[in-house]
Structure 1
Amino acid sequence: MRPAARRGGRLLRAPRALRGARRAARGQGDGPRLHPLRRGRPERPGDHRRPGRARGPARASPVVNVLFVTLDQFRADSYGAAGHPLVTTPTLDRLAREGARLTRHYSQAAPCSPGRAALYTGTYQMNNRVVANGTPLDRRLDNLARVARRAGYDPTLFGYTDQGVDPVEAVGPDDPRLDDYDGVLPGFSVGLYLPNSQAGYIQYLRALGYDVGSGWEESVIDEPSRPAEHSLSAFLTDRFLGWLHRQESGWFAHLSYLRPHPPYAAAGEYSRLYDPRDVPSAIPPVEAGAQHPLHRAALRWPRTAAGDPGAVARLRAQYYGMVSEVDAQLGRVVEAVEARGEWGETLVVVTSDHGDQLGDHGLKEKLGFFPESYHIIGLWRDPRLGPRVVEHVTENVDLLATLAESLGLEAPVQCDGRSLAPLLEGREVEWRAAAHYEWDSRYLLLLGAQAPAPDVLAQRNLAVSVTDDLAYVQFGDGSYRCFDLAADPTWRTECTDADRVLAAAQTQLIWRQRHLRREGTDLLLTPERYGNWPADLRPALV
């Protein structure tokens, strides 16, 4: 056997898929297990978490490399393959043509830390409890990086993961990790770390002669005045390409791009690429009397109020410019992988942590219950599978289970999502009928207060369930909204049919009950080890 590679001071085995391919080439086995049997868990009626144990069609070759990309704040409709009439995104369009385009793909929370916690751990916010930028991540939760490491990879981060340290790991009140939420997700090696301070990027800009302030916002607010080759996205791409040049096959990289996250200021020529007069119009808000109090408050808050139509048009033009610029940088990545001869053995995943209102309903940024903040880009390009448009509801919590299966591993028990394998392979399968996401605003009460009342905090949240014809929003204070999407898909018309509203409320309650944390709940401490015990903890058969 070829010796394991040493990376970053740690001795790692080659990835499972690569080891399987080598064994197959030597006549020692049939190659990697692409669809291993997982621990048996009962199906959840009405939710259909598990597709059963049927294997899909054989895949011709193993996936050797993994490119996992997040484009921050990228909503679902903002690229060419999704049908946008203005934005040009040749790289994303190519990935959509070569892989699976998930047309109804949703983030499970906003803003960044909550959205990423759901993505990285495969769990809903009600289970991972990361409710704000600054909420610690429970160290007991498994995650994407640890799964990749168990598969034999050295998962390497370029960018950020926005996950705060669990306080139980702190070494005292002066532990600097307690001062911010921009820590690195446990399990990742770091190729390029871009914390909130953006210290590395700012140092780079100053070395080029730019006068730049401190902090992430100051580092990018002036990007329109700088050439695109000096943008934050280009900086990240350059560092990744330098790293890639030093790697052998069998790499795993997470490229976490900030753009198209605000400030709404595209780099260089991309800031002038789209004329505000050409951008599509936004969905206007309903009249004040029909607005939920949260909506009214957001329309008064400068950070989330989008402004007049002219301001919205300018905002959108800059956002689309950022989309095209990060698409161009991703194109450099694709070209580099192709030049190495690895495109045919590289899995590419593109998603986001959340979306952006972009002026719809009078709002900008990401917040509240409207779908523009949660309906996001979703692309899964597996070279072993053909292209496909997936119109089922998919969620970011599904991606960890799908990745684990693609790498020949079981999905972590904690996963609220399910593997997308049957959809990616075109198999008929029962699937969820609704998308689910959550939003929590207790951070507004926590700021400036060291001990706010827990019962008050518990009311500052909402949960949303979206089907083809209804959107049901349950607020923590007991109020609700139910929108009739069959009559009006813009979420401006409420459903007045009490029976439909009650059914939607019950369906959401069932969803929450069926996704209560279950670690250990399928095990009984008995001599016989009743339950779903792993094989290494079962008693020997007599």
Structure 2
Amino acid sequence: MQHSVFINSSCRMSNSPNLVIFIPDQWRGDVMGHLGNPAAVTPNIDRLVSEDAVSFSQAYCQNPVCTPSRCSFMTGWYPHTRGHRSMNHPLTRDEPCLLRELKNAGYYIWWGGKNDLMSDEDAFSELCDERHLPEETHKNLHIDQSWRKGTPQKPDFSFYAGELKKNEGEDVYLDSDWSHVLAAQNFIESYNDSRPFCVFLSIQYPHPPYGVEQPYYGSVQRNQIPSRITAESTHGKPRMHQQLLDGLGLTDKPEKWWSELRATYYEMCARVDDQAGILLTALQQSGHYDETAFFLFSDHGDFTGDYGLVEKAQNLMEDCLVRVPLIIKPPAKAKSQSGICNALVELVDFPATVYDMVGIKPKYTHFGRTLLPLLKDPSGEHRDAVFTEGGRCDKESHCAESDDLDDPTNLYAPRARIQTEDFTAHGKAVMCRTHRFKLIMRLYESDEFYDLEKDPNECINRINDPDYDSERKDLYQRILRHLFETADIVPQTTQARDIPQSHFPLGNAISRQLTACH
């Protein structure tokens, strides 16, 4: 396939790198082999980090669910900046977006995968040149729920599917993710246009339902998976924890069952690692590898059994939900180092890094900080704190998820019902995390404070412990300053005020006198 298009020579960016932006959905930051997890099967990513890329071990998203997080990392805004705190409020066409900036600067944009970003389907023509759509026959576990156990009287809300089987007569298990990845591979291998390209590939996995096909299913050693944080060790947690425990109905599951669910999630991550390997191989075989920047990160994490829960919640901020993978391989000319960087970084830093890398000065205010210095020196520092936020106010019932509450078997019915019926449990919250401490400030409930050095599993809420008075005060002040600095943005396009001169008679008289003096 040839992608030849006419472009104005003033837009030509022959020296700009190609970009591959690969975004798995709901990948926890701790399920990678090179970060020391013995059960993680991620050889392609591990090799990339050892040779050509930097892995940011302390990368944090700005919201623990899909749409608000994506609105944030595609703009460089925090969710509160323009009210993108809800699954129901994606970006609108009048708001900035990284892909639009790249397209306007002369990039050829190829989009494959899920949306969860834009509210208007017509906006895609402004964001990309080519959009891949899978066949309707490709599998989707959210639509076809034949894998679910339980009954209408006692629905199953575990999201556990287990081994996925190929249809009779099929050689492979073909779902929309595989369709998008293989289409991206074909695009990379056949691209020969004069413009630099940007592949934006946003897939579904390892988002639950927790299910995967052979050869991935059964490939993870169960006895190597780190111990689960149990529901019994969550004293001092907010209402949403208990409401989810009650609504999901998973408290009677044996540990062996949880082990299988967690292993399946790890195997879903192993499949994504294979898909990353396909993209990297396509870059190498097509000769684009050295001139391409490769980004891999997730929008947020997943409970995967920790605290007795599955999936995620909009205002819970344990590290398993807000810490994400972030891998960056710059083009060869950047002469960067490879390895692991332990600096605190945020996903709002992603667009700032792209803008810096390709030489774009966006015409809007954003809050990201470029990561290019850390690619040259991964031992450096970046931020002294990171922030995540979510939830809603009492009067913001429109922020609750809009799933069909009349369908008792709906996968998201328990979570949506809590958000709709209990604004306290779904109340607004903001997290400030340093390397050692985490403070979660809650609008309607008691705040949370954790000493992550002594309590890495965030099980002991020390919000009332007098031994930490000064540390809590410091984080409260950081939150105040953060919200003050990022509360809003002033558009960079100014409009002249059309005010009649007659409104300023005194000023006009003074002006005439000054003119006469000269």
Partner of residue 272, structure 2: 326
- Report the Cα offset of residue 213 of structure 1: 8.5
* Partner SS for 2:215: helix
Structure-2 residue corresponding to 1:189: 129
Contact (CA 8 Å) 1:465, 1:508: kept in 2 or not?
yes
Displacement after TM superposition at 1:111 (Å): 1.4
1:79 match: 32
Q: Name structure 1 gaps, 5 residues minimum.
A: 21-62, 167-176, 194-199, 206-211, 528-542
**Secondary structure in 2 matching 1:361:** helix
Q: What does residue 183 of structure 2 align with?
A: 239
Name the structure 2 match of 1:96: 49
1:357-382 deviation digits (Å, cap 9, x = unpaired): 11222222122121110100000100
Question: Structure 1, residues 267-301: CA drift from partner, whole Å, max 9, x if none?
Answer: 22211212444422112235565332222112222
- Which of 141, 166, 174 is the aligned partner of 1:230? 174
Partner SS, residue 80 of structure 2: helix
Q: How many residues align?
A: 450
Contact 1:400 1:411 in 2 (8 A): no
CA contact (8 A) 2:41 2:267 kept: no
For 2:205 and 2:492, the matched residues in 1 are separated by 41
SS at match of 1:301: helix
Is 1:403–2:354 an aligned residue pair?
A: yes
Bigger mean CA deviation after superposition, 473-482 or 251-260: 473-482
The aligned residue for residue 75 of structure 2 is 121
d(CA) in 1 for partners of 2:494 and 2:380?
28
| CA drift at 1:508 | 0.9
Could you list the per-position Cα deviations for residues 428-467 of structure 1 after superposition, in whole angstroms to 9, with x for gaps in the alignment? 9763211111122654476679xx99x9699722111111
* Pair 1:359-2:326 in alignment: no
Given that residues 108 and 396 in structure 1 are in contact (C-alpha distance below 8 angstroms), is that contact kept between their aligned partners in structure 2? yes
CA 93–320 in structure 1, closer or farther in 2 if over 3 Å, else same: same
Aligned residue for 2:270, secondary structure, equals: helix
Which residue of structure 2 lines up, in the alignment, with residue 109 of structure 1?
Answer: 63
The alignment's C-alpha RMSD in Å is 3.5
> Given the superposition, is the C-alpha separation of residues 301 and 276 from structure 1 closer, same or farther in structure 2, using an over 3 Å criterion?
farther
Q: Give the corresponding residue for 1:505.
A: 476
Query: How many Å apart are 1:471 and its aligned residue?
Result: 0.7
Partner of 1:197: none
TM-score w.r.t. length of structure 1: 0.74
Quote the residue 2:325 is aligned against: 377
8 Å CA contact retained: 2:228, 2:305: yes
1:296 paired with 2:242, answer yes
Report what 2:411 is aligned to: none
- SS of the aligned residue for 2:30 comes to coil
Are 2:294 and 1:348 aligned?
yes
User: Bigger shift: 348-357 or 490-499?
Assistant: 490-499
Paired letter, 2:19: V
**Contact map agreement 1:74 1:354 (CA 8 A) in 2:** yes
- Deviation of 1:336 after TM superposition, in Å, equals 1.5
Give, in whole Å, the separation in 1 of the partners of 2:471 and 2:225. 36
Whole-angstrom distance in 1 between the partners of 2:37 and 2:385: 24
The more displaced of 256-265 and 457-466 is 457-466
Q: CA offsets, 1:103-146, max 9 Å, x none?
A: 10011112111111111111111113222222242333211101
Match of 1:517 in 2: 488
Q: Take 2:456 and 2:235, find their aligned partners in 1: how far apart are those partners?
A: 20
Cα offset for 1:318? 0.6
Query: Structure 1 residues 225, 275: CA separation in 2 closer, same or farther (over 3 Å shift)?
Result: farther
Corresponding residue to 1:462 among 413, 429, 432? 429
- Paired with 1:106 and 1:300, the residues of 2 have a C-alpha distance of 28
CA deviations on 1:73-125 (whole Å, 9 max, x unpaired) are 11111111121102221211122121111110011112111111111111111
Which secondary structure state, in structure 2, belongs to the residue aligned with residue 156 of structure 1?
A: strand
Q: Do the aligned partners of residues 429 and 468 (structure 1) sit closer, same or farther apart at CA in structure 2, a change above 3 Å counting?
A: closer
The residue number in structure 2 matching 1:154 is: 108
How much does 1:526 deviate?
9.5
Q: 1:134 to 1:223 in 2, by over 3 A?
A: farther
1 CA distance for matches of 2:9 and 2:53?
Answer: 29
Q: Secondary structure at the match of 2:112?
A: strand
What is the SS of the residue equivalent to 1:126?
Answer: coil
- Highest Rg: 1 or 2? 2
Match of 2:513 in 1: none
Asked whether the 8 Å contact 1:414–1:517 carries over to 2, the reply is no
- Is 1:228–1:268's contact at 8 Å kept on the other side of the alignment? no
Q: Deviations over 1:303-339 (max 9, x none)?
A: 8879442232111111111111121122122112111
Distance 1:458 1:282, change over 3 A: closer
Distance 1:288 1:465, change over 3 A: closer
Q: Secondary structure at the match of 1:270?
A: coil
Aligned in 2, Cα 1:296/1:425: closer, same or farther, shift over 3 Å?
A: same
Provide the C-alpha distance between the structure 1 equivalents of 2:131 and 2:98, rounded to a whole number of angstroms: 17
Corresponding residue of 1:423: 374
Which runs of structure 2 are paired with 1:13-92 in the superposition (5 Å)?
16-18=12-14, 20=15, 63-92=16-45
Which residue identity is paired with 1:506?
Q
Q: Secondary structure at the match of 2:383?
A: coil
- The structural deviation recorded for 1:263 is 0.7
CA drift at 1:204: 4.5
- TM-score (normalised: structure 2): 0.78
Contact preservation (8 Å) 2:222, 2:263: yes
Q: Does structure 2 retain, via aligned residues, the 8 Å contact 1:223–1:231?
A: no
Identify if the C-alpha distance between structure 1 residues 186 and 361 changes in structure 2 by more than 3 Å, giving closer, same or farther.
farther
Cα gap change, 1:306 to 1:158, in 2 (>3 Å): farther
Distance 1:457 1:310 in 2: 34
